[in-house]
Amino acid sequence: MSDFPSVPNSNAGVAAPSESTVQITHVTYALFALGLLTGGLIAVAGLIVAYIKRDDAAGTYLASHYGWLIRTFWWSLLWGALICVFVVLTIGIGLLVAWIPAGILWIWHAYRVIKGWLRLADKREVN
């Protein structure tokens, strides 16, 4: 008998993805992570990869990762655009306080990339 308690497999009954699809998912997370350092420009490449490869991941635990990444991109873009509109509407005075929501947005985006990537490493769905 093992000293470790058995952990139920949350992916029971889900098809196993191909190794190349898993590797591409890691690359997609890397592009999103690099997007944090480039103001989101490289994340656009990650978004394109996510849209192209999500059909290959259908029926596997990776499908949730592609949905997670796509939602992360579009919500980040929306909130980033709202922050920019705020700065424009306040005729630049909003720059004094815009760094606060921008920082929160950056942290939120980083959290989602890290959480998803860790779940991917554990071969688990992300929710």
Three-state DSSP string of the chain: CCCCCCCCCCCCCCECCCHHHHHHHHHHHHHHHHHHHCCCHHHHHHHHHHHHHCCCCCCECHHHHHHHHHHHHHHHHHHHHHHHHHHHHCCCCCHHHHHHHHHHHHHHHHHHHHHHHHHHHCCCCCC
Per-residue pLDDT at 20: 93
Instruction: pLDDT tens for the chain, 127 residues: list them.
Output: 445 444 445 555 568 888 999 999 999 999 999 999 998 899 999 999 999 999 999 999 999 999 999 999 999 999 999 998 988 888 878 788 888 999 999 999 999 999 999 999 999 999 8
d(CA 3, CA 11): 23
∠ CA 29-48-103, rounded to 5°: 55
pTM: 0.84
Query: Hey, what's the torsion of the CAs at 88, 90, 96, 101, to 10 degrees?
Result: -70
Q: Are 65 and 126 in contact (CB under 8 A)?
A: yes
CB proximity list for 15: less than 8 A, separation 6 or greater:
59, 60
d(CA 16, CA 32): 24
Per-residue pLDDT at 12: 53
Per-residue pLDDT at 7: 44
Every domain of the chain and the residues it spans: 19-121
